[in-house]
């Protein structure tokens, strides 16, 4: 067969050569060890948690090594394209610390546009580039056209499927597939000319030289050393519309765009032999591969299941709705990604997660477990280390969209809100009252009269007259300028004067000798002022509320005791 002639017949308009492509897209000039990684989504909807995960790895490896991260849109399946999905995806990822240095990124109008010298970054715009390499492969007798129409192929597949169901003799099945494939290889130049003259569409297939009996040795940076069978399938490189399959586009794009590390889901592992074959045929240097395991979750019965699209926590936009700070999500992703992250965090409570030396070797090989309880724990820790001002800024950003009434109160007096949010912050053991913005109202709503209600009541076991006396004496002795110690001494004095133990040790030694303890006396005041048994430090609360509001609440409780 005259392959040059075949190549000209199939790609008459392609005049450029691979050498031209190499000249157009020269190797990147980057410092030694700098990694070039990418995110290559097929944007059809929201960003999945399982998508953020490998992307964070890509981002960390790139930026930690002085390299770069780029975004390539893999829109070769036109049927699945969703308008606006790419823009949404970029915005969502940006929230979670994923900043692209290059690629299809947002321009000033908020529309995806190319940025960088290795574009176009949308695969649907790269057909001429793929065709250069396709033509070359045909010229070298490494690829051939197959004029079976898509409809014929589909019909054939249906028949095959039915056969497969009946036929459990895998060996026979493989043989019949192979026979079918070999049949495709048999054609003459005249056949091709006749088909082309008739305007018949064709797909371009690789002419595989693989032998599945032979094994390829590969190293995956996450999974380790592996042996995989060679590919013997004449898989499709170009579909009948001239658009490449994932396999072909992956090889051409990652080569020309200079990707050093291909970080992708492990669902691509079974295709790896195809990719290695393509890199060999095309004479490209093989990038390093990292196949990341699927994120798992536990179902009701405690069994591990894949975190699917419909599961709670899968859609990254849900986190915003639920009230998780993006910082929390990033922190959680890091705890999942590297087993030594939490230890590092304990030693470095205030550093940004980007200071952590991310290590590929500390990644889980078998897959991480997504767990809301753990996420909520991380959330409380992260928020407890933020400053009151940061909390206020993020909280109001969230309430603006998700709780406008609360937002109005917070925004009306930022200084008041910030002083509330400052309670228990700083120091070695900051308070961990909330982890989600949606939990804040429950925690601090009582500071606002509009939300103040008696959620807890003083147990009936206490004499109402005693409660009344505590409140009255407290009011009489209250001086806003007292420091915390003096304030508490006064509470103790009230306690003993009414037969409650001022000293907890004495109370514990003989509880029957007292009506209760100073803790109970404080509880009366706490319930009156905050409506709750559990609230932050009462001295501070009263100072933030101010004397007037504090007294109004104490008086309100008195009226219920009359
Ligand atoms: N478009 C592919 C996907 O979304 C990309 C895989 C890769 O990163 O190479 O699964």
**Ligand 1 centroid to 261 CA: how many Å?**
13
Residue 443 lies in a domain: yes
Residue 288 lies in a domain: yes
Residue 360 lies in a domain: yes
For residues 145 and 192, is the Cβ–Cβ distance under 8 A? yes
Q: What is the pLDDT of residues 301-311, one digit of tens each?
A: 989 999 988 88
Averaged pLDDT, 14-26: 98
Least confident of 51-55, 150-154, 338-342: 150-154
Distance CA 228, CA 275 (A): 12
Ligand 1 nearest-atom number relative to CA 264: 8
**Ligand 1 centroid to 507 CA: how many Å?**
67
User: Which one is predicted more confidently, 252 or 50?
Assistant: 252
Residue 421 lies in a domain: yes
In the numeric block, the tokens 């894949």 are attached to: 306
Model pLDDT, residue 83: 80
Ligand 1 nearest-atom number relative to CA 250: 9
The verdict on 251 and 312 lying in the same domain is no
Domain of 310, CATH number, reads 1.10.1160.10
Averaged pLDDT, 286-310: 92
Residue 531 lies in a domain: yes
Closest residue by Cα to atom 4, ligand 1, is 41
Domain of 501, CATH number, reads 1.10.10.350
The verdict on 364 and 435 lying in the same domain is no
Residue 97 lies in a domain: no
Q: What is the pLDDT of residues 449-471, one digit of tens each?
A: 999 999 999 999 999 999 999 99
Model pLDDT, residue 175: 77
User: Ligand 1: which of 48, 265, 291, 309 to mutate, judged by most atoms within 8 Å of the beta carbon?
Assistant: 265
The verdict on 395 and 380 lying in the same domain is no
Residue that is last in its domain, among 332, 352, 385: 385
Tokens of 186: 């048999």
**Ligand 1 centroid to 514 CA: how many Å?**
71
Residue 339: CB within 6 Å of ligand 1? no
| Domain residue limits at 351 | 300-385
Q: What is the pLDDT of residues 217-269, one digit of tens each?
A: 999 999 999 999 999 999 999 999 999 999 999 999 999 999 999 999 999 99
Q: What is the pLDDT of residues 333-379, one digit of tens each?
A: 999 999 999 999 999 999 999 999 999 999 988 889 999 999 999 99
The verdict on 489 and 509 lying in the same domain is yes
Cα distances (angstroms) measured from residue 150 to each of 124, 156, 201, 241, 406: 19, 10, 9, 10, 58
**Domains: count for the chain:** 4
Residue 223 lies in a domain: yes
The verdict on 284 and 304 lying in the same domain is no
Distance CA 272, CA 276 (A): 6
The verdict on 132 and 252 lying in the same domain is yes
For residues 39 and 98, is the Cβ–Cβ distance under 8 A? yes
Ligand 1 nearest-atom number relative to CA 51: 4
The verdict on 275 and 176 lying in the same domain is yes
Model pLDDT, residue 158: 67
Residue 60: CB within 6 Å of ligand 1? no
User: Ligand 1: which of 38, 42, 275 to mutate, judged by most atoms within 8 Å of the beta carbon?
Assistant: 42
Tokens of 66: 């002085």
Residue that is last in its domain, among 292, 314, 341: 292
The verdict on 247 and 329 lying in the same domain is no
Q: What is the pLDDT of residues 99-115, one digit of tens each?
A: 999 998 899 998 889 99
Residue 257: CB within 6 Å of ligand 1? no
Averaged pLDDT, 55-66: 97
**Ligand 1 centroid to 242 CA: how many Å?**
20
Cα distances (angstroms) measured from residue 489 to each of 245, 339, 508, 511, 549: 78, 48, 19, 21, 22
Q: Is the pLDDT of residue 161 over 90?
A: no
The verdict on 266 and 179 lying in the same domain is yes
Distance CA 147, CA 140 (A): 20
Residue 275: CB within 6 Å of ligand 1? no
For residues 215 and 177, is the Cβ–Cβ distance under 8 A? no
Closest residue by Cα to atom 5, ligand 1, is 40
**Ligand 1 centroid to 250 CA: how many Å?**
8
For residues 52 and 93, is the Cβ–Cβ distance under 8 A? yes
Residue 191 lies in a domain: yes
Share the mean pLDDT of the chain. Answer: 94
Q: What is the pLDDT of residues 184-227, one digit of tens each?
A: 899 999 999 999 999 999 999 999 999 999 999 999 999 999 99
Domain of 249, CATH number, reads 3.40.50.620
> Dihedral sign, CA of 270, 274, 275, 280?
positive
Which parts of 498-541 are beta strand (E)? 500-501, 516-517
The verdict on 133 and 248 lying in the same domain is yes
Residue 74: CB within 6 Å of ligand 1? yes
**Ligand 1 centroid to 59 CA: how many Å?**
15
Label residue 149 by pLDDT band (50, 70, 90): low
Residue that is last in its domain, among 260, 292, 324: 292
Residue 69: CB within 6 Å of ligand 1? no
Cα distances (angstroms) measured from residue 124 to each of 22, 83, 145, 202, 240: 20, 14, 21, 18, 14
Q: Please give the span between the terminal C-alpha atoms of the chain, in angstroms, as a whole number.
A: 107
> pLDDT above 70 covers what percent of the chain?
96
Closest residue by Cα to atom 3, ligand 1, is 41
Q: Is the pLDDT of residue 52 over 70?
A: yes
Q: Is the pLDDT of residue 116 over 80?
A: yes
Model pLDDT, residue 155: 67
User: Ligand 1: which of 37, 38, 41 to mutate, judged by most atoms within 8 Å of the beta carbon?
Assistant: 41
Q: What is the pLDDT of residues 409-451, one digit of tens each?
A: 999 999 999 999 999 998 889 999 999 999 999 999 999 999 9
User: Residue 286: is it exposed, middle or buried by C-beta count within 10 angstroms (0-12/13-18/19+)?
Assistant: middle
**Ligand 1 centroid to 265 CA: how many Å?**
7
**Ligand 1 centroid to 69 CA: how many Å?**
15
Q: What is the pLDDT of residues 476-517, one digit of tens each?
A: 999 999 999 999 999 999 999 999 999 999 999 999 999 999
The verdict on 9 and 142 lying in the same domain is yes
Tokens of 121: 């970054």
User: Which one is predicted more confidently, 463 or 151?
Assistant: 463
Closest residue by Cα to atom 9, ligand 1, is 264
Residue 40: CB within 6 Å of ligand 1? yes
Q: Which of 133, 136, 138, 135 has the alpha carbon at shortest distance from 255? A: 133
The verdict on 246 and 145 lying in the same domain is yes
């Amino acid at each position: 067969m005259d392959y040059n002639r075949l190549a000209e017949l199939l790609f008459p308009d392609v005049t450029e050569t691979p050498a031209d492509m190499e000249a157009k897209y020269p190797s990147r000039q980057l410092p030694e060890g700098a990694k070039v990684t990418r995110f290559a989504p097929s944007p059809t909807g929201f960003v999945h948690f399982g998508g953020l995960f490998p992307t964070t790895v890509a981002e960390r490896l790139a930026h930690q090594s002085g390299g770069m991260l780029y975004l390539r849109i893999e829109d070769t399946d036109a049927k699945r394209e969703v308008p606006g999905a790419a823009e949404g995806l970029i915005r969502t990822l940006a929230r979670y610390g994923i900043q692209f240095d290059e690629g299809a990124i947002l321009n000033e109008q908020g529309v995806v546009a190319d940025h960088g010298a290795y574009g176009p970054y949308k695969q649907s715009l790269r057909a001429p580039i793929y065709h250069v390499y396709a033509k070359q492969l045909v010229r070298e007798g490494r690829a051939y056209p197959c004029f079976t129409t898509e409809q014929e192929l589909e019909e054939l597949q249906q028949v095959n499927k039915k056969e497969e169901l009946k036929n459990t003799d895998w060996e026979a099945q493989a043989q019949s597939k192979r026979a079918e494939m070999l049949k495709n290889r048999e054609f003459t130049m005249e056949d091709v000319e006749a088909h082309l003259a008739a305007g018949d569409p064709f797909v371009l297939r690789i002419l595989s030289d693989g032998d599945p009996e032979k094994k390829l040795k590969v190293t995956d940076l996450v999974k380790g050393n592996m042996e995989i069978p060679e590919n013997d399938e004449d898989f499709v490189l170009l579909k009948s519309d001239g658009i490449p399959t994932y396999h072909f586009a992956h090889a051409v794009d990652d080569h020309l765009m200079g990707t050093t590390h291909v970080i992708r889901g492990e669902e691509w592992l079974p295709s790896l032999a195809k990719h290695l074959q393509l890199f060999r045929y095309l004479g490209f240097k093989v990038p390093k591969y990292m196949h990341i395991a699927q994120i798992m979750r536990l179902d009701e019965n405690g069994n591990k299941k894949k975190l699917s699209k419909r599961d709670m926590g899968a859609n990254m936009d849900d986190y915003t709705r639920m009230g998780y700070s993006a910082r929390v999500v990033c922190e959680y992703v890091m705890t999942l990604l590297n087993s030594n992250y939490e230890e590092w965090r304990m030693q470095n409570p205030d550093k940004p997660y980007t200071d952590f030396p991310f290590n590929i070797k500390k990644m889980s090989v078998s897959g991480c477990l997504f767990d809301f309880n753990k996420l909520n724990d991380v959330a409380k820790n992260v928020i407890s280390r933020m400053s009151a001002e940061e909390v206020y800024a993020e909280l109001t950003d969230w309430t603006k969209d998700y709780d406008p009434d609360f937002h109005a109160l917070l925004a009306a007096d930022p200084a008041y809100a910030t002083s509330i949010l400052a309670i228990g912050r700083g120091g070695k053991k900051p308070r961990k009252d909330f982890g989600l913005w949606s939990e804040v109202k429950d925690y601090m709503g009582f500071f606002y009269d509009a939300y103040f209600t008696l959620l807890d009541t003083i147990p009936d076991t206490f004499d109402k007259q005693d409660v009344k006396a505590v409140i009255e004496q407290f009011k009489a002795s209250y001086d806003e300028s007292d420091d915390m110690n003096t304030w508490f001494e006064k509470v103790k004095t009230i306690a003993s004067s009414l037969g409650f133990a001022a000293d907890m040790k004495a109370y514990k030694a003989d509880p029957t000798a007292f009506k209760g303890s100073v803790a109970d006396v404080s509880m009366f005041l706490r319930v009156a002022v905050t409506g709750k048994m559990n609230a932050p430090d009462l001295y501070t609360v009263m100072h933030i509320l101010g004397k007037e509001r504090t007294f109004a609440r104490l008086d309100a409780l008195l009226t219920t005791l009359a």
